[in-house]
Amino acid sequence: MNAHLQPSGSAYFLTKDTNAVERHTLSVLVDNEPGILARIAGLFSARGFNIDSLTVSETEHEQGLSRITVVTVASPKVLTQIKLQLERLVPVHKVHDLTAEGNPLERELALVKVAGKGENRVETLRLADAFRAQVVDASTESFVFEITGKASKIEQFIALMVPLGLVEVVRTGLAAISRGPDRM
């Protein structure tokens, strides 16, 4: 008998994934059918993948195709698995790793409600102008701004609004597209 073999106390080999993680934006072209979002989200949760942001809308009406933009954080090995597992789903047509393909255009829209009076209102409007946020609703005590841009720009705007009376924020999540003439 091999006495030097001390059992590990588990039926499985336990190891940590110590690889560095990266944030990637994936674009997924799917059939717009009932349950497709649950299929995508369920795959991520079942296999322990992360979703940082998920945006879905039908984009090609005559073919009934939706485009899903997923932002995920994973090691390069897991990123490959995410892409291949997504492609394995029957209603998935294409998966593109936009980040890997190079510097995609990424935009997000947020509606930001800010309440305040006096000097704060003036400062709020000044900052909104600097960020090109549009006023889409106003009352004597509040504004709702519409702001689009990179996620980092929106984060920055929201952070600046906190001391000025930020009430609440709603964000669409990221929409991304590749640069240049080619379609996915």
Partner 1 sequence: MAEKMTGAEMVIQALQDQGVEHMFGYPGGAVLPMYDAIFQQDKIEHILVRHEQGATHMAEGYARSTGKVGVVLVTSGPGATNAVTGLTDALLDSIPMVCITGQVPTSLIGSDAFQECDTVGITRNCTKHNYLVKRIEDLPRIMHEAFYIAGSGRPGPVVVDIPKDVQFAVGEYSKPANLTSHKSYHPQLEGDLASIEAAVDYMLRARRPIFYTGGGIINAGPEASENLRELAELTGFPVTSTLMGLGAFPASNKQWMGMLGMHGRYEANMAMHDCDLMINIGARFDDRITGRLDAFSPNSTKIHVDIDPSSINKTVMVDLPIIGDCNHVLEEMIRIWRTKTNESREAALAPWWEQIDKWRAVNSLQYKPSKDVIKPQFAIERLAAATKDRDVYITTEVGQHQMWAAQYFPFEKPNHWMTSGGLGTMGYGLPAAVGVQVAHRDALVIDIAGEASVQMTMQEFSTAIQYHLPIKVFILNNEYMGMVRQWQELLHGGRYSSSYSESLPDFVKLAEAFGGKGIRCEDPANLDAAIQEMLDYDGPVLFDCRVSKEENCLPMIPSGKAHNEMILPDTADIGNIIDEEGKMLV
CB of 12 to partner 1, least distance (A): 6
**Cα 176 from Cα 119, distance rounded (Å):** 37
Tokens 């009352």, located at residue:
139
Residue 123 touching partner 1 (CB under 8 A)? no
Nearer to partner 1, 45 or 152 (CB): 45
Stretch near partner 1 under the rule CB under 8 A, chosen from 35-43, 67-75, 107-115, 130-138: 35-43
Residue 18 touching partner 1 (CB under 8 A)? no
**The only residue of 61, 90, 119, 139 in contact with partner 1, by rule CB under 8 A:** 90
Nearer to partner 1, 9 or 181 (CB): 9
**Residues facing residue 95 across a β-bridge:** 28
What are the start-end ranges of the H helices in 47-150? Answer: 76-88, 98-101, 119-130
DSSP secondary structure, 23-60, as one string: EEEEEEEEE--TTHHHHHHHHHHHTT---SEEEEEEEE
**Residues facing residue 144 across a β-bridge:** 113, 137
Residue 75 touching partner 1 (CB under 8 A)? no
Stretch near partner 1 under the rule CB under 8 A, chosen from 7-15, 17-25, 129-137, 166-174: 7-15
Nearer to partner 1, 66 or 124 (CB): 66
What are the start-end ranges of the H helices in the chain? Answer: 36-46, 76-88, 98-101, 119-130, 151-165
Residues that bind partner 1 (CB under 8 A): 1-3, 5, 7-15, 30-31, 34-35, 38-39, 42-43, 46, 77, 80-81, 84-85, 87-93
